[in-house]
Chains A and B, each alone.
Chain A
Amino acid sequence: MRFKTSVRNIQTFSKLTASLSSLGKVAWVRLDDDIVRFTIIPETGTQVWASLSVESIFEDYTIQSAAPNNTINLELPLPPLHRALKSALNASSASIRLTKKDGIPVLSLTIITNTISSGNSANGFLNNANSDPFGDNVFREENLDANTGRDREAIVTQDIPVRVLTADSVEGIHEPRVREPDAHIMLPSLMQLKAISDRFTKLALSTAPGGTRGGSAASTSKLELAANMHGSLKLSISTDALNISSVWTGLNNPELDPRQAIDDEDPAEHPSAKLKAAGPDAWSTVRIDGRDWGRVLSVGRLGGRVVACFSNEHALILYVYLPSYDNADESVLTVRFSNLRM
């Protein structure tokens, strides 16, 4: 079993792990010849299935195992992975390999980074910043062998403990099938959505019976999300004390991908088509935990387009389409919320 790769885009990978680690502490990572998949299935809360093309985050990718497609399954703690990648943010290069240290399998992240070397260059950095941009020192003369003096490398190795999972143990885990959505809509700017949602959640928590720290009753704030097939998204909370809602209009209801449509079904019979026909006052609604939602919206940092699919009173699925590299197959992060009962 071999796995070794360079990280093509440390920033993206780091943002991905940041988003994932806010949603769960441990991920099941499935690596094969083409796809890198991160799955988070917490005991409660939201499920995440992130499927990325290898090229979108890695390069010089080598994988080898006895399983078909050279699949390797790992159980990986996300916070350490994210912490490790933080070391790599200013690195000149970073690579990952699966290895064993002291009998424990680890993902070893090797980062080559330049250090502020000791002596004069430690000051030089700051002095330059303060120097007069029009002074004589603008073109500071540099030593020819600058490499020996300044660009000193430090090799940082971050070892993340992992468990290598057998194919059998993950066989039974499948992406759950959800019934066809009634409404699918492109979400507005996640930054804006998050700011408003968080505000709502806060209000719901602070006005819930029992006050801000009032035990389990107040610990879930139910955020109601609804969409129609005429470009509107509605976000609302209702507590004993207040009802508030925000409505976005003019959003896009994307066409369903014909490739994913079920063959023997008439597109006009699709639940979303029916909802569309029912007019702008027909909504598909789900209730979700406000804090869960807030955490999920942190995927906004990845800068992807987000399509929300509503199954009325049943489930909400977010598809986060990550910006792809080289027009390769799009990488998608799928987040599933279950509807909360009233």
Chain B
Amino acid sequence: MALLSFTLSPESLGKFHDALVCLGKFSEVVCIEAVHDKLILTALNSSKSAYASFTFLGNKFFNKYHFRGSTSNKNGSRDKFNCKIYNKALVSVFKGRVLDPTREKDIGVEKCDVSIEDGDGKVKSRFIVKTMCRHGVLKSYRLTFEAVAPMHALFVKESAYNYWKISSKTLREFVEHFGPGTEQLDVYSEEGRVSFTSYTEKIMSGNEILKQPLQTTIAIDTVEFSKFTVEEKLHIVISVKDFKSIIGHAGINNTEVSARYSHPSSPMQITYIVEGIQSEFILMTIGESRAGSATPVPNGSRASSKRPAPRQALEAASSSIRAANMVMPPPPASAAPNVHREASKSKVVRPSPPPPQPSIQPDALFFPDPDGDRRWDPVDFDEEEDEMLLWDAGSDTDVGRVNSGQRLKNTESQNQRSFASNIVSAQYGADDLLPPTQILAPTQRISEVHGMFD
């Protein structure tokens, strides 16, 4: 019996696909969470500096939505279903919209039924998509998933005293002005003018100067905003790539985008609602770059928010993760060298985009992990390749990683991997793991393979 089933109309299929594409810009795995009246898709990027979530309302977005809390689980009735799927798989499965209008007639989708089966060994755990197309063509997909609880970023609205709201179309126009290659976006307002600046903070000299990406500032009047209450002369800096990803999705819909934030190094929340879909993004903001690395001291009004210090206010984790942490077995032996290696690397400069190391505040957006701020460690790609060679490490965690597609990504950060291995131990069952044969070492070197005529 299906644990969850829902039906998408061709239009909602397109929107579902758009959301997946947007989530794909944050992470290559998407976490799916179903409760009786809604379906939530989330993604958390590898540096845990950006979180994206789409909530599809059961009665508004879907043609049919039915969640059947099963009683077969050991914990009694299940009021929630969680799983994690490789985003690319979902994106290709839910690709309903055909860009070429002349071909639409032939392969147009009429409806799309999705069901999730999850059982204790009797039923295979599968994510099943059946797409009904014109001319009676039926496409079915059965995807495996990993049953894990997602990470949620929490945002304390009460302490975010800066708020603005603006048309998504206007934001899209702005984003189009931003050239490629910049890393940060600074939002600043003074005397009724708001400026969005996309820039990259790099020290270059000589010929290198010419490689500095285009710096773009867009200055508009606050009247452009339908609501605007923001502290004067406050610089708030987020990753321009994340902002582009968000506006890339928001801009295709005609809606109003709201942003809430407090001060640098505290998270920013961006939300908008499109017909039955609530979109929420939580982005880490970068500390004031010119103020050095000192943590801003919260003033009286800020400190009077619900929680005493901003650090606590920013901590966030789903309760299930907390629970998982409590029942979690001690970390596998292989984790120890990992920690050691991370420590030895903490001084290397991060090679790729956001956010620059010196500006990072110790305050974390997400549940603090035991490694402290090593989450911002640079990714060492060479190191990672060594890791990839350890096919036959043989530990359970490796099996889990193969299953969740983590192994496929060789730019994964250290943290994400430790997160993945934590998660694996919280799995519900083993029946969605790949058969162990799939992780056997290759038996022949490529160089030994000869062609027919060699």
Contacts and interface: CB of A to CB of B under 8 A. Distances in A.
Interface stretch (A33-41, A80-88, A171-179, A289-297): A80-88
B173 interface: yes
Nearest to A126: B254
A152 B210 contact: no
A117 B167 contact: yes
Contact of B166 (A104, A118, A155): A118
A120 to B, nearest CB: 10
Given A118-B166, A118-B225, A119-B226, A77 B211 contact: yes
B254 A122 contact: yes
Contacts of B211: 77, 161
Interface in A110-152: 115-119, 122-123, 148, 152
Contact of B167 (A118, A157, A162): A118
A77 B211 CA distance: 8
A157 B173 CA distance: 14
Interface of A, secondary structure class, is strand
Interface string A100-114: 010010100000000
Interface of B, secondary structure class, is mixed
B256 interface: yes
A116 B223 contact: no
Contacts of A157: 216-219
Contacts of A32: none
Contacts of A76: 210
Given A84-B179, A154-B219, A117 B207 contact: no
A160 B214 contact: yes
A159 B214 contact: yes
Contact of A118 (B177, B213, B256): B256
Given A118-B166, A118-B170, A157-B216, A123 B254 contact: yes
A152 B221 contact: yes
A153 B210 CA distance: 30
B218 A155 contact: yes
B295 interface: no
Interface residues of A, number: 31
Nearest to A105: B209
B220 interface: yes
Interface in B263-308: none
B180 interface: yes
Contacts of A153: 220-221
Contact of B223 (A104, A152, A158): A152
Interface in B358-380: none
Contact of A104 (B179, B212, B225, B254): B212
Most buried by A among B173, B177, B219, B220: B177
8 contacts: A77-B210, A87-B177, A115-B173, A116-B167, A154-B219, A159-B217, A161-B210, A162-B209
Interface of A: 26, 75-77, 80, 83-84, 87, 101, 104, 106, 115-119, 122-123, 148, 152-163
Given A117-B167, A118-B225, 7 more contacts: A80-B213, A115-B170, A118-B226, A152-B221, A154-B174, A158-B216, A159-B214
